[in-house]
Structure 1
């Protein structure tokens, strides 16, 4: 299983989701990307790194990249952090490609299923975003390994 996580800039939510999914799905290949190119080549945002480290997730080696149409062929599943990310990823879908694109939270039970992961770069709530991402990563791991 190869999974791509996607957010806006690839410096907060998607690298955290990458690390959380790696922790819960160690046999899977996990990567992350952003829909925008502002932070390409940069490490995750320092406050997000600190929040993740407090939960045992090391983001320090990750570097931002932008999602590309080729990612639809590389990955079995693409998980997005909000509806804008989903729209932007879908706009890149090559004709005829059927790779599923789902919300990071789709594996959670109602009422949390499908809700957006708030962007802590703008909200400042790194711990809240991380907690939601980790719950979703655990739910995806349970779904994909059952």
Structure 2
């Protein structure tokens, strides 16, 4: 049975597709590609059907990540098929927990930076209205948290297999 992770930001064009691409690469590098499904979505549907922001695409490409992406909105009924919903900031965390149909679904929602023991701020800031360096900083935060997240997902996959 596949372990499913969905990253969620606001419009699903900057932070969450970046986190999806980085984490998918980590999963593949760890040899878990057949066991872990990685996806992303937004809390709002403003950009549904759009590709990732060109600055996101550029930052990912420069760092060696592959990404093919179309934005979509997170739907409450997705909780049933997900093991973990990873919010990129505290506002997304609150919105997703309110959207969750059950307390068990709300418990699936976690902040990405909670997996980075060096993080001093729980949020990955939205780079959309800023300059290119904001996207680079976002990538650094996502990469730093991805290692801890991978450890948690790997443990969950191993428990399922036992």
Same fold (TM over 0.5): yes
**What is the SS of the residue equivalent to 1:91?**
helix
Equivalence for 2:81: 74
Deviations 1:32-71 (A, max 9, x none): 0000111000000001100111011122x21000000112
Are residue 140 (structure 1) and residue 149 (structure 2) matched?
A: yes
SS at the partner of 1:25?
helix
The aligned counterpart of 1:15 is 17
- Distance apart, 1:114 and its partner CA: 6.1
For residue 11 of structure 1, report the CA deviation from its aligned partner. Answer: 0.1
Q: Which residues of 2 match residues 25-44 of structure 1 at below 5 A?
A: 25-26=27-28, 27=33, 28-44=36-52
Query: What is the 5 A alignment of 1:87-106?
Result: 87-98=94-105, 99-106=107-114
Question: Cα–Cα, structure 1 residues 3 and 113, in superposed 2: closer, same or farther, change >3 Å?
Answer: farther
Task: Provide the aligned C-alpha RMSD in A.
Answer: 1.5
Rg larger for: 2
Using the size of structure 2 for normalisation, the TM-score is 0.83
Query: 5+ residue gaps in structure 2?
Result: 156-162
Judged with a 3 Å threshold, the aligned counterparts in structure 2 of structure 1 residues 73 and 17 are, in CA distance, closer, same or farther, namely same
Q: Which has the higher helix share?
A: 2
Count, aligned residues: 144
Structure 1 runs, 4 residues or longer, greater than 6 Å off: none
Q: Which residues of structure 1 form unaligned runs of 5+? A: none
Aligned 8 A contact 1:104 1:114 in 2: no
What's the counterpart of residue 45 of structure 1?
53
